[in-house]
Amino acid sequence: MQYDPKIMERGKQYYRNNLVKYCIKYKNLLFGEVIGSDVYRVKVDLNDNYFGLCTCPYKYNCKHAYALIEAYKNNNYIDAEEIFKELKNKSKEEILEILKNLIIKNYLWDEFLDTESLLNKAIGLIKLIPLERKNIHTFKSFLRNQFVKNADDEELIKVIEEMIKADLDFEDSDVIEALTIILDEIFRRENKKIIEKLINLYRKHKKELWIVGDYLIEFYY
Span from 23-31, 47-55, 158-166, 205-213 in contact with Zn ion (CB under 5 A) = 47-55
Span from 39-47, 70-78, 108-116, 184-192 in contact with Zn ion (CB under 5 A) = 39-47
Q: 20-26 and 78-79 as β-strands: parallel, antiparallel, unpaired?
A: parallel
**Which is nearer to Zn ion, 56 or 151 (by Cβ)?**
56
Question: Min. distance of Cβ 151 from Zn ion in angstroms?
Answer: 30
**Which is nearer to Zn ion, 62 or 148 (by Cβ)?**
62
- 54 sits near Zn ion (criterion: CB under 5 A): yes
Contact 64, 56 (CB under 8 A): yes
Contact 78, 24 (CB under 8 A): yes
Q: How many residues bind Zn ion (CB under 5 A)?
A: 6
Question: CA 206 → CA 45, 185, 209, distances in Å?
Answer: 40, 20, 5
Contact code string over 56-75 relative to Zn ion, x by CB under 5 A = x-x---x-x-----------
**Which is nearer to Zn ion, 31 or 58 (by Cβ)?**
58
- As a whole number of Å, the CA-based R_g of the chain is 22
Question: Min. distance of Cβ 51 from Zn ion in angstroms?
Answer: 13
Residue 176's contacts (CB-CB under 8 Å, 6 or more residues apart) are: 170, 211
Question: Min. distance of Cβ 153 from Zn ion in angstroms?
Answer: 33
Span from 21-29, 46-54, 108-116, 200-208 in contact with Zn ion (CB under 5 A) = 46-54
Question: Min. distance of Cβ 189 from Zn ion in angstroms?
Answer: 27
d(C-alpha 53, C-alpha 55), whole Å? 7
CB under 8 A, 24+ apart: contacts of 41-45:
42/67, 42/68, 44/68, 44/69, 44/72
Chain positions 133 to 192 lying near Zn ion, rule: CB under 5 A, are: none
**Which is nearer to Zn ion, 3 or 147 (by Cβ)?**
3
Span from 51-59, 132-140, 192-200, 207-215 in contact with Zn ion (CB under 5 A) = 51-59
**Which is nearer to Zn ion, 62 or 168 (by Cβ)?**
62
Q: Catalogue the E-assigned strands of 10-135.
A: 20-26, 29-35, 39-45, 51-54, 78-79
- 19 sits near Zn ion (criterion: CB under 5 A): no
d(C-alpha 52, C-alpha 43), whole Å? 6
Strand partners, 26: 29
By the criterion CB under 5 A, which residues form the site for Zn ion? Answer: 40, 54, 56, 58, 62, 64
